[in-house]
Amino acid sequence: MFTTLLLASVLTGATLCPSAAANVVVAEDGSGNYRTVQAGIDAVPAGGTVSVKPGTYREVITVPAAKTGITLRGTTGKAADVVVDYDNASGTKKPDGTTYGTTGSATATIAANGFTASALTFRNSFDRKAHPEITATQAVAVKTTGDRMVFDNVTFLGHQDTLYADTAAVGTAGRQYYRACAISGDVDFLFGRATAVFDRATITALDRGSSPNGYLTAASTRRTTAYGFLIVGSKVLSPAASATFYLGRPWHPGGDVDAIAQVVVRETVLPAAIKPTPWTDMSGFSWKDARFAEYRNTGPGAGTGTDRPQLTAAQAATYTAQHYLAGGDGWNPVH
């Protein structure tokens, strides 16, 4: 591996130290080992670290399943300083004339187990208004399919389908912990079948100027999976008009009857933009057949009632970040 990296450094003019096989530096100004994030990912071995210096890196990146345990980190500690950005949408045409589709639109696709990211931003900057010819406007910033993944102080920017929190296959575990992250979007912008915890997150529901303006979640949790999405100790912000946003709807990919969404929003501040009846149907499937609940939320968008299922205190004790993430191996990244 080191020989390969040394040859690459000679060909690219990058500097390389003996420890670079496990730790590489990316800098768009040429002051690191590589100028692109993907080059750093390609070079680092499983378990290594890619440190990214400030800049906007306009590229599509992939972390393959074989790159287990790697860390991708911004060097300043500020997520806004390091931005990985591209602007493909589902309906964007590829060179061969076909379109990317939702999964293919992702700016970053991360398949590796044990992946960690910190202090950086992933953005899909697709602009609906600039491309009226594109009607399939799903535009993913990040698609994740790994297990035991941690995102710490990471920002996810997009509009429709910003964060696709998924698993590698039906029946495969995909536990993902998003700590102190910032996520923005409008339609179904937290979606997928992963077991994902959003802890102390700042979630911004953007204004599309319509009603409804959008949906925070569209989980597709498997019927046999106890835990889907947990939003806990977080804050939802929105410039949208009052009562124009749903907390979520149940996504059944391809009409799959065994995708039974599971979402809990607890101890989270909700804005006035949240509808008094915050859950809704999707593609003919009733939200009442999904596993939706709230617990001790606050703010002008919080409430109770027949259409706002609430956990009991006893139930709440089992719907915690630790319970969601433990799995069969007792994984506990929460702190």
pLDDT in tens, the chain (335 residues): 333 343 343 333 344 443 445 899 999 999 999 999 999 999 999 999 999 999 999 999 999 999 999 999 999 999 999 999 999 999 999 999 999 999 999 999 999 999 999 999 999 999 999 999 999 999 999 999 999 999 999 999 999 999 999 999 999 999 999 999 999 999 999 999 999 999 999 999 999 999 999 999 999 999 999 999 999 999 999 999 999 999 999 999 999 999 999 999 999 999 999 999 999 999 999 999 999 999 999 999 999 999 999 999 999 999 999 999 999 999 999 98
Among 147, 161, 166, 186, the active-site one is 161
Active-site residue, 329 included: no
> Which residues lie closer than 8 Å to 20 by C-beta, 6 or more apart?
2, 5, 9, 33, 43
What is the widest separation between alpha-carbon atoms in the chain?
67
Structure tokens at 107: 């700016």
User: Buried (b) or exposed (e) across 153-174, using 16+ Cβ within 10 A?
Assistant: bbbbbbbbbbbbbbbbeeeebb
CA distances to 145, 275, 333 from 112, in Å: 7, 37, 17
Among 85, 152, 188, 199, the active-site one is 188
User: Buried (b) or exposed (e) across 9-32, using 16+ Cβ within 10 A?
Assistant: beeeebebeeebbebbbbbbeeeb
Structure tokens at 123: 């953005």
Residue 44 to residue 1: CA distance in whole angstroms:
9
Q: Is 97 exposed, middle or buried (0-12, 13-18, 19+ CB in 10 A)?
A: exposed
Backbone angles phi, psi at 231, to 5 degrees: -110, 115
Return the number of other C-beta atoms located less than 10 Å from residue 57's C-beta: 22
Active-site residue, 188 included: yes
Rg of the Cα trace of the chain?
20
Structure tokens at 2: 């080191």
Complete domains list, the chain, with CATH: 53-325 (2.160.20.10)
Residue 104 to residue 155: CA distance in whole angstroms:
20
pTM score of the predicted model? 0.93
Q: What is the sign, positive or negative, of the torsion defined by CA atoms of 151, 317, 309, 300?
A: negative
Closest CA to 189 of 150, 227, 236: 236
Backbone angles phi, psi at 153, to 5 degrees: 55, 50
